[in-house]
Amino acid sequence: MKARVEVFLKPGVLDVQGKAIEAALHGLGFPGASDVRVGRLITLDLAATDKSTAEAEVKAMADKLLANQVIESYQILIH
C-alpha cells in the first residue's frame, strides 16, 4: 500500500519559512498572497497489505520519526 504523510507546524507556531516565502511573493508582484505556510509531504510504499495495519504502522512512523509533535501535527492518508 502507499501512504502519504503531511506534516505542518501547529497553528500557534511561527512559520519562518512561510513568512519568508510570503515576503518574497509580495516582492515578486503577488501582493494578494497571505497566510503562507510550509509543510513536509512524505510519500512511501508499505509492505502491509491491509489498510488498518498500514495506517497503524505509518502512525507509529510519524510519532517516532516523521513529525516533531511538540511543534508539528500530521495527517496520514493510505491509498
Q: For residue 5, what is the enclosing H or E element?
A: strand 2-9
Report, in Å, the least distance between residue 28 CB and a copy of itself.
6
Please, which residues have CB within 8 angstroms of residue 46's CB and are 6 or more apart in sequence? 1, 2, 3, 54, 57, 58
Question: Footprint of a copy of itself on this chain (CB under 8 A)?
Answer: 6, 8, 18, 21-22, 24-25, 28, 30-48, 57, 60-61, 64-66
Report, in Å, the least distance between residue 70 CB and a copy of itself.
19
Q: Long-range contacts for 19-27 (Cβ within 8 Å, ≥24 apart)?
A: none
Report, in Å, the least distance between residue 23 CB and a copy of itself.
11
- For 62, which DSSP code? I
Residue (25 or 55) nearer to a copy of itself, CB: 25
Residue (32 or 70) nearer to a copy of itself, CB: 32
